[in-house]
A and B are shown apart, each in its own frame.
Chain A
Amino acid sequence: MAGTWIFVEQRDGNIRKVTFEMLSEAKKFGDEVSAVVFGKGVEGLAPEFAKYGADKVYVADADVFKDYNTGAYVAQMVAMINEYSPNAVLFAHTFNGRDFASRLAQKLEAGLATDAIAAEISAGKGVFTRAIYAGKALSKVEVTSSPVFGTIRAGVWEVVEGAGAGEVVKPAIAATDADVYQILKDFTPTVSARPDLTEADVVVSGGRGCKGPEGIKMVEDLADLLGGAVGGSRASIDSGWLGHELQVGQTGKVVNPNLYIACGISGAIQHLAGMSSSKFIAAVNTDTEAPIFNVSDFGVVADMFKVVPILLEELKK
Chain B
Amino acid sequence: MKVLVCVKQTFDTEAKIELKDGKISEAGINLIINPYDEVAVEGGIQLKEKKIADEVVVVAAGSDKAMDAIRTALAMGADRGILVKQDSAADEYARAVALAAVIKEENPELVLAGHVAADDGSSQVPTRVAEILGFPHVNVITNLELADGKAVCTSEADGGTQVTEVSLPAVVSSQVSWNEPRYPSMKGIMQAKKKPVSTVDAVAAENKVAIVEVGLPPAKTAGIKLEEEPDVAAVKLADWMKNTVKVEVK
Contact A132 B119 (CB under 8 A): yes
Contact B159 A189 (CB under 8 A): yes
Q: Known contacts being A137-B17, A315-B241, is A106 close to B212, with CB within 8 Å?
A: no
Q: How far is the CA of A311 from the CA of B238 in the complex (A)?
A: 6
Contact B158 A142 (CB under 8 A): no
Tell me whether B161 is interfacial, beta carbon within 8 Å. Answer: yes
Contact B157 A299 (CB under 8 A): no
Contact A186 B163 (CB under 8 A): yes
Q: How far is the CA of A208 from the CA of B15 in the complex (A)?
A: 21
CB distance from B231 to the nearest CB of A (A): 5
Q: Which residue of B lies closest to A113 (CB)?
A: B209
Tell me whether A190 is interfacial, beta carbon within 8 Å. Answer: yes
Binds A, one of B42-50, B57-65, B129-137, B194-202: B129-137
- In the bound complex, residues from chain A placing their C-beta under 8 Å from that of B167 are 181
Q: Which residue of B lies closest to A292 (CB)?
A: B222
Contact B122 A114 (CB under 8 A): yes
Q: Which of A102, A196, A251, A315 contacts B159 (CB 8 A)?
A: A196
Contact A295 B132 (CB under 8 A): no
Contact B166 A141 (CB under 8 A): no
Contact B176 A244 (CB under 8 A): yes
Contact B138 A182 (CB under 8 A): yes
Binds A, one of B79-87, B88-96, B103-111: B88-96
Tell me whether B124 is interfacial, beta carbon within 8 Å. Answer: yes
Contact B211 A141 (CB under 8 A): yes
CB distance from A88 to the nearest CB of B (A): 14
Q: Known contacts being A11-B158, A133-B119, A276-B220, is A316 close to B247, with CB within 8 Å?
A: no
In the complex, which residues 112-152 of chain A have their Cβ closer than 8 Å to any Cβ of chain B?
112-115, 127, 130-145
Q: Which of B19, B138, B176, B250 contacts A227 (CB 8 A)?
A: B250
Tell me whether B147 is interfacial, beta carbon within 8 Å. Answer: no
Tell me whether B215 is interfacial, beta carbon within 8 Å. Answer: yes
Contact A131 B245 (CB under 8 A): no
Contact A251 B215 (CB under 8 A): no
Interface size on B, residues (CB 8 A): 83
Tell me whether A277 is interfacial, beta carbon within 8 Å. Answer: yes
In the complex, which residues 232-250 of chain B have their Cβ closer than 8 Å to any Cβ of chain A?
233-235, 237-242, 244-245, 247-250
Q: Which of B158, B209, B213 contacts A96 (CB 8 A)?
A: B158
- In the bound complex, residues from chain A placing their C-beta under 8 Å from that of B216 are 136-138
Q: How far is the CA of A298 from the CA of B220 in the complex (A)?
A: 12
Contact B250 A103 (CB under 8 A): no
In the complex, which residues 151-204 of chain B have their Cβ closer than 8 Å to any Cβ of chain A?
152, 155-167, 175-177
Q: How far is the CA of A81 from the CA of B50 in the complex (A)?
A: 45
Q: Which of A188, A251, A308 contacts B162 (CB 8 A)?
A: A188
Interface size on A, residues (CB 8 A): 94
- In the bound complex, residues from chain A placing their C-beta under 8 Å from that of B226 are 298-302
CB distance from B218 to the nearest CB of A (A): 9
Tell me whether B230 is interfacial, beta carbon within 8 Å. Answer: yes
Q: Which residue of A lies closest to B129 (CB)?
A: A106
Q: How far is the CA of A222 from the CA of B238 in the complex (A)?
A: 11
Contact B225 A99 (CB under 8 A): no
Q: Which residue of A lies closest to B249 (CB)?
A: A315
Tell me whether B128 is interfacial, beta carbon within 8 Å. Answer: yes
Tell me whether A241 is interfacial, beta carbon within 8 Å. Answer: no
Contact B217 A276 (CB under 8 A): yes
Q: How far is the CA of A111 from the CA of B215 in the complex (A)?
A: 21
Tell me whether B72 is interfacial, beta carbon within 8 Å. Answer: no
Q: Which residue of B lies closest to A300 (CB)?
A: B233
- In the bound complex, residues from chain A placing their C-beta under 8 Å from that of B242 are 315
Contact B224 A106 (CB under 8 A): no
- In the bound complex, residues from chain A placing their C-beta under 8 Å from that of B138 are 182
Q: Known contacts being A184-B164, A189-B159, A296-B222, is A114 close to B121, with CB within 8 Å?
A: yes
Contact B166 A181 (CB under 8 A): yes
- In the bound complex, residues from chain B placing their C-beta under 8 Å from that of A224 are 250
Contact A103 B131 (CB under 8 A): yes
Contact A311 B127 (CB under 8 A): no
The proximity string for A residues 279-295 relative to B, scoring 1 for CB distances below 8 Å and 0 otherwise, is 01110100010000111
21 A-B pairs with CB atoms under 8 Å apart are: A94-B158, A95-B139, A95-B155, A95-B156, A102-B131, A103-B137, A106-B132, A114-B121, A134-B121, A137-B17, A183-B165, A185-B152, A185-B162, A245-B156, A298-B237, A299-B223, A301-B225, A303-B230, A306-B234, A307-B230, A311-B238
New A-B contacts (18) at CB < 8 Å, excluding given A99-B139, A300-B233: A71-B136, A106-B128, A112-B209, A114-B123, A115-B121, A139-B120, A142-B210, A142-B212, A144-B210, A183-B164, A190-B159, A225-B250, A270-B13, A282-B241, A300-B234, A301-B227, A310-B238, A315-B249
Q: Which residues of B contact A (CB under 8 A)?
A: 11, 13-17, 19, 24, 35-36, 91-93, 96, 118-124, 127-128, 130-132, 136-140, 152, 155-167, 175-177, 207-217, 220, 222-227, 230-231, 233-235, 237-242, 244-245, 247-250
Cβ-closest 10 pairs across A and B: A111-B208, A314-B238, A306-B230, A102-B127, A310-B234, A244-B177, A297-B223, A106-B131, A106-B128, A111-B209
